[in-house]
């Protein structure tokens, strides 16, 4: 945001941080020095041949040419002490990010939340791209009813849902690992999501995900 408004290169700002010319350090940045490590997910060993492969995903989705193509994931809370999770969704084109708090990540609970999303979202939903976690094994039941297609990533390849992974890390800035999501109110989660969606992004020419989504929804309604 600073680089955009004053037309400074991002590299210059980082140099100033290193030189102590700005009143906070690189260590204050949310992701500085954090090496992203992902535990091997043991939930889906039997699930590797499930559904439609991401290799079958059309170029229109791959190139982010339209709104309505979503990447999905679940974010776990306090392992061993809480079953509550967040189901996260991000639109590939606009990077509009949303989440639902779930009591657990069973197939039935995930499908219930997605049914709510599909019946309340004021825009098109063409596809879901998901990993091979067992919580997503029942999405085929939503396809015929809502006219969507589900694409399953290769096993242990989170980069195939890169936008979702990136925004999940943004969410972790507000809710660090170990957070018990059953203690998070719906209002608190909504406020957090609004903050995330109102951040200008370089990849969106410094528009916010909210602005891009709203613009595209307006075009669709014309």
Per-residue pLDDT of 95-121, as tens digits, reads 999 999 999 999 999 999 999 999 999
Q: What is the pLDDT of residues 128-142, one digit of tens each?
A: 999 999 999 999 999
For the chain, the structural domain boundaries read 1-35, 46-221
Secondary-structure percent of the chain, ordered helix, strand, coil, rounded to 5: 45, 15, 40
Q: How many CB atoms lie within 10 A of CB 94?
A: 26
CATH no. for 46-221: 3.30.420.10
Q: Is the pTM of this model over 0.95?
A: no
Q: Which residues pair with 74 in a beta bridge?
A: 87
């Amino acid at each position: 945001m600073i680089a955009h408004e004053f037309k400074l290169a991002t590299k210059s700002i980082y140099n100033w941080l290193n030189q102590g010319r700005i009143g906070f350090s690189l260590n204050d940045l949310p992701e500085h020095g954090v090496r992203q490590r992902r535990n091997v997910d043991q939930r889906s060993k039997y699930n590797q041949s499930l559904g439609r492969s991401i290799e079958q995903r059309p170029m229109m989705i791959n190139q982010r040419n339209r709104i309505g193509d979503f990447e999905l994931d679940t974010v776990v809370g306090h392992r061993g002490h809480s079953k509550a999770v967040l189901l996260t969704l991000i639109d590939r084109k606009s990077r509009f990010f949303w989440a639902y708090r779930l009591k657990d990540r069973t197939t039935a609970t995930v499908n219930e939340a997605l049914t709510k999303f599909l019946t309340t979202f004021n825009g098109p939903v063409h596809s879901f791209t998901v990993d091979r976690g067992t919580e997503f094994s029942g999405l085929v039941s939503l396809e015929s009813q809502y006219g969507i297609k589900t694409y399953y990533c290769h096993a242990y390849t989170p980069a195939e849902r890169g936008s979702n992974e990136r925004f999940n890390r943004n969410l972790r800035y507000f809710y660090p690992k170990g957070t018990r999501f059953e203690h998070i109110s719906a209002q608190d989660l909504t406020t957090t999501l609004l903050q995330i969606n109102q951040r200008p992004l370089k990849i969106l020419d410094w528009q916010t995900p909210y602005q891009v989504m709203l613009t595209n929804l307006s075009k669709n309604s014309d």
